[in-house]
Structure 1
Amino acid sequence: MTDTSSFDKALEQRLVAYCEIDSQSDEHSPSKPSTAIQLDVQRHLQAELEKIGASDIELTSYGALLATVPATDPNAPTIGFCAHVDTAPQFNAANVKPRVHRAWSGTDITFPDNADLVLNAETSDYLGDRVGDDIITASGLTLLGADDKAGVAIIMTMAEHLLSTPGLKHGKVRLAFTPDEEIGRGVDDALPEDFGVDFAYTLDGAKRGTMEYETFSADGAVVTISGVSAHPGYAKDKMVNALHVAAAITSALDEDGTTPETTDGTQGFTHIYAQDGGSSETTLRFIIRDFELEGLAERGARLQAVCAKAEADFPGAKVSCEITKQYRNMRYWLEDDMTPVDLARDAMRELGMDPKSVPIRGGTDGSRLTELGVPCPNLFTGMMEIHGPLEWISVQDMALATKTILTIIDRAAR
């Protein structure tokens, strides 16, 4: 395997520093970005980009940070690299305390702030392949934030290498660090034009050697239930409890057997992830996922039918179901031009990897960018067990990802 040790120290230092900055997004916020704390990361990166000598540094009105590594070969294509700075709102991400387990021996990794947690090859099987690597985790009370600050660190380290190494032949390289990816709002309509690239890659993947060019298609749904309020002591034949209606909707969907905990592979699902309110009015929030547009439409129609039936079954209740588009399977566009996919595969093979591409049961900023005309598959970073307290990453995987994108840049200019 190619030696990547020259990048290890910079990647470790960057990831630890980035993860210590709280940057959770918030789907309930209408602002751009959804939380001001995401701009704390962007300003940190902006100063770092200025220090390493990047050009065209711009913090946009919609919260994305853009920059350029100027071309040394004007005939080579302009390639973009993208990562998101927000962390997932599903788990605590405040006061992250990263811990580096150097040259991990294969023994249990424990967490000083949560004695009940144990990370080993049984709780995360890929970890068993990384014996001897430097493993970074959080301390047990938070997620780590390697999703996707690992991608940010990899792109920054790549940019620093290009800017500090004379004589390298490459085209213009564009960097984009986006907010709000975790809540499906990472790609503003203005980003494709502002990015200005021939094609791009997100650094938002998992195991080394993996690249995704097929993702879920995704919609979101908000179901609002209005019941009939009455004093519970005198409620007979008067009250309609919105929570009972909500339970009926959830139960009907569970009977289909297509929830996240019962599906895998290329199966889609409908997932209720939040409920707010009480007996008079309650709101349910869903994500709807399928690899094919026909399946996505069928799942949306099924949810609407369940809501209509619930309204009919509970006279007096009012049930509305609003479905909004989120992103689409990037395969629909990439299969027409596989240039960035083939280039990445060739780069991985050059570095001794056997590239693997499987449909990703999720989405990236690349899903939306591809739909908007910027072909953008997703590359590995090494992050594992994301969105929870067992999240971890190998520094050596990050270094190999850095070498991969440098090889992509090099091959594109040959």
Structure 2
Amino acid sequence: MQHIIDRFIGYVTVDTESDPESNTTPSTAKQWDLANKLVEELKQIGLSDVSIDDKSYVMATLPSNLDYEVPTIGFVSHFDTTPDFTGKDVKPQIVKNYDGGDIVLNKELNIVLSPSYFKDLLLYKGQTLITTDGTTLLGADDKAGITEIMTAMEYLVQNPQIKHGTLKVCFTPDEEIGRGADHFDVEKFGADWAYTMDGSQIGELEYENFNAAGVKIRFKGKSVHPGYAKGKMINSMLLANKFISKLPKDETPETTKNYEGFFHVTNIQGSIEDTLVQLIIRDHNRNKFEKRKEYVEEVVAKINKKYQKQFGEDIAILEIKDQYYNMRDKVAPVMHIVKLAEQAMKELNIKPLIKPIRGGTDGSRLSFMGLPCPNIFAGGHNFHGKYEYVPVESMQKAVEVIVKIAELNAIQNKK
């Protein structure tokens, strides 16, 4: 267990925050620090074909130790952390034999991780938790996944009596800003399928995610002295407000769960003559997803029609861009890859929690690039903020799941 703790802390104390405003890959130069460290570590533990490309994608191979052919399986995690909360100067705290009570993350700032608010904490009573110090995120998303993949590969190298086929490893940049699969070379990777180790609670196994689109609407206006504005002024901020008021009130992130989709306004910047509204559209059902986009188009079209005579041209400029789709479409024809992971968990006395992802994953895009890629738990909770934590026992179980998947693949495909 200490080996996993040391490895994980070695990763999270390297700042790898990504930057959505950057046009480079990786989006921040500091991501190279951990990428290069991972390359050296992969070589040290004995993997083959270790490489890092000009975009910082790290790949490696654990060769088969079988005398017959079985499918090649890949394992994928990302090394960047979200720009939503600082990942600089992470100072992990270790809570041994957690007693089920409040955890003081930072006494000076009165920051407390409490099961009265974060009820999942009680699942891990008696276990060892790694938390933040209340001033940064932790980075378990997804350095827990990297820890688990690296530890599993090392274990298999050191225990050649465990039979397995060829295993592929890839660590990627910029997943947190939606670009983790942008330069992923599926052909070079060479796996028949893969798993992202990027879920949360122990037991999670996911092969469904949202269909997703990003929306930008620029509302124009006319500025006139407010004392003489009657019939002349058009306030673009009020137009933006009219648009937002037309969105269903009960179809937002804070009012939906499970398979329910939503509209989510993420940003507004405006003045009288120019206001930009940004939102995201999410739905697991592809038909409902398309209807949500159509609804936005209809609302914008009505606003344009209403102001056409007064403004003389379209007063609202709409841009909708699809971001990713539900991986279920690509995984359903090869459901044996989900069943394999499910069996591995059951044999390890882990209860599989098969549920839809209310978000996206690199696995979704990779699935549509020809690499079916369900998602497996990495163990962390409360990602993207100061209350993030990970039970060490969950990371250990994730290591065991990786090993068991490799083992079962060899057994089930024995000629």
Give your verdict on TM over 0.5: yes
- Select which of 211, 216, 239 maps to 1:222: 216
Which residue in the other structure is 1:5 paired with? Answer: none
Which residue in the other structure is 1:339 paired with? Answer: 336
- Select which of 81, 85, 97 maps to 2:75: 81
The whole-number CA distance in structure 1 between the counterparts of 2:282 and 2:290 is 10
The whole-number CA distance in structure 2 between the counterparts of 1:334 and 1:297 is 21
Identity of aligned residues (%): 41
Alpha-carbon shift at residue 211 of structure 1 (Å): 0.4
Which residue in the other structure is 2:93 paired with? Answer: 99
The whole-number CA distance in structure 2 between the counterparts of 1:311 and 1:225 is 10
Which residue in the other structure is 1:372 paired with? Answer: 369
- Select which of 194, 197, 222 maps to 1:203: 197
- Select which of 30, 54, 60 maps to 1:61: 54
The one-letter code matched in structure 1 to 2:321 is: T
What pairs up with 1:8-407 in 2 under 5 angstroms? 8-73=1-66, 75-112=69-106, 115-188=109-182, 190-230=184-224, 237-253=231-247, 255-313=248-306, 315-316=310-311, 318-407=315-404
The whole-number CA distance in structure 1 between the counterparts of 2:173 and 2:269 is 25
Alpha-carbon shift at residue 237 of structure 1 (Å): 4.5
Q: Deviations over 1:19-51 (max 9, x none)?
A: 222222222322222222222221221222222
Closer, same or farther: CA 37–247 of 1 in aligned 2, 3 Å: farther
Closer, same or farther: CA 231–148 of 1 in aligned 2, 3 Å: farther
The answer as to whether partners of 1:270 and 1:288 remain within 8 angstroms in 2 is yes
Alpha-carbon shift at residue 230 of structure 1 (Å): 4.7
The answer as to whether partners of 1:206 and 1:384 remain within 8 angstroms in 2 is yes
Closer, same or farther: CA 30–321 of 1 in aligned 2, 3 Å: farther
The one-letter code matched in structure 2 to 1:369 is: L
The one-letter code matched in structure 1 to 2:10 is: A
The whole-number CA distance in structure 1 between the counterparts of 2:125 and 2:316 is 53
Alpha-carbon shift at residue 295 of structure 1 (Å): 1.0
What are the ranges of 5 or more consecutive residues in structure 1 without an aligned counterpart?
A: 1-7
Secondary structure, in 3 states, of the residue corresponding to 1:111? Answer: strand
Secondary structure, in 3 states, of the residue corresponding to 2:353? Answer: coil
Closer, same or farther: CA 28–114 of 1 in aligned 2, 3 Å: farther
The whole-number CA distance in structure 2 between the counterparts of 1:63 and 1:117 is 36
The answer as to whether partners of 2:199 and 2:379 remain within 8 angstroms in 1 is yes
Relative to the length of structure 2, the TM-score reads 0.92
Secondary structure, in 3 states, of the residue corresponding to 1:307? Answer: helix
Relative to the length of structure 1, the TM-score reads 0.92
The answer as to whether partners of 1:114 and 1:140 remain within 8 angstroms in 2 is no
Aligned Cα RMSD in Å? 2.1
Aligned length: 406
Secondary structure, in 3 states, of the residue corresponding to 1:89? Answer: coil
Farther off after superposition, 16-25 or 110-119: 110-119
